[in-house]
Amino acid sequence: MEGKELGLWGSSVIGAIGLLVFLSLWEILVRTNVIDPFFLPAPTQVIDKAIQMTTAKDAVLLTDIKISATRVLTGFLLSVLAGVPAGLILGMNPVIRAAINPIISIIRPLPALSWIPLSMLWLGIDEQQKYAIVFMGSFASILVYTTDATMRVDPTLRRAAMNLGASPLQILRYVILPGALPDLLTGLKVVLAIAWTCVISAEMVGANSGLGFRIWTAKEWSDTGQVLVGMISISVTVLVLDILFRGLERVLLPYQRKTSGT
């Protein structure tokens, strides 16, 4: 066994066992009152709570997930639409890159949270402000990832295309874009996770819907069960989006699937 890879099945089974042991221990510790359920309800109680939040006639949980996901995806798509073309230009033009670099270096390290006060002053607490937070939190990263991915495209491939008669626009379309795509998708996956933290923070500070808001109000009511349901919902939603993203990668990069081998 030593040093051997576990197959997909093997690692799934072991993972499931690990999770089950963890949940059982947690359940037992709460049931035997070692942990006060007021601080940390048992898994079964959390599940009850989740069912209650989805089956009640307003089905808050599902609405919250939908609202938060919409905010994340809208803001994320907006920054992709702005950041990817801008990154391509930066990646291909050293003059523009040199001009813009200092501005990016100032904006990029700012946590999304630090944009909340300004955005609230400018846009209030409606949807636009949520989109703006996500946008500000992800734009600079997308820009940098795209620029790097563009610059990493093998220059001999550009030469080869030019040698075959490609115009600058054709180089962009047929060499730079497909060449940068693998690194670009990896970058976007990271940024999508960042976008989630942006939305949850924004919803905790000023909102009246969404998962972040739900968790924050539950805290006001000392409803730890609801806090946990909210947190787990975030995990699950991010996981689902990640799986969808991987599927997208497989569709867009068929040549990588085949060459990586099994």
Partner 1 sequence: MSETLIKFDNITKRFSLRKGDIVAVKDFSLEIKKGEILTIVGASGCGKTTVLNMVAGFLTPSSGNILLDGQPITKIEPRCGMIFQNYALFPWLSVRKNVEFGPKINGVSKKVRREESAKYIEMVGLKGFEDAYPGELSGGMRQRTALCRVLANKPDILLCDEPFAALDAMTRQIMQQELLRIVNESGQTVLFITHSIDEALILSDKIVVMSVRPGTVKHIYDIELPHFGKVEVQLTDEYLKLKRQIWAMVEEEVKISMKIVSS
* Residue 164 touches partner 1, criterion: CB under 8 A: yes
Among the listed residues 2, 33, 109, 163, the single contact to partner 1 using CB under 8 A:
163
The tokens for 86 are 């801008």
Instruction: Say whether residue 156 binds partner 1 (CB under 8 A).
Output: yes
Q: Which position among 48, 60, 78, 178 is part of the footprint of partner 1 (CB under 8 A)? A: 178
Q: How far is the CB of 248 from partner 1 (least distance, A)?
A: 15
Applying CB under 8 A, among 3, 165, 208, 262 the residue interacting with partner 1 is 165
Residue 216 phi/psi, 5° resolution? -65, -45
In the bound complex, what is the minimum distance in angstroms from residue 188's beta carbon to partner 1?
Answer: 17
Nearest to 90 by CA among 156, 138, 140: 140
Instruction: Name the segment binding partner 1 (CB under 8 A); options: 13-21, 65-73, 154-162, 210-218.
Output: 154-162
| Residue 172 binds partner 1, judged by CB under 8 A | no
- Contacts with partner 1 by CB under 8 A: the residue count is 22
What is the x/- site pattern for partner 1, positions 99-138, by CB under 8 A?
----------------------------------------
Q: Which is nearer to partner 1, 4 or 258 (CB)?
A: 258
Nearer to partner 1, 108 or 246 (CB): 246
Interface with partner 1 (CB under 8 A), residue from 128, 174, 209, 245: 174
- Residues of this chain that bind partner 1 (CB under 8 A): 154, 156-157, 159-166, 170, 174-175, 178-179, 181, 253-255, 258-259
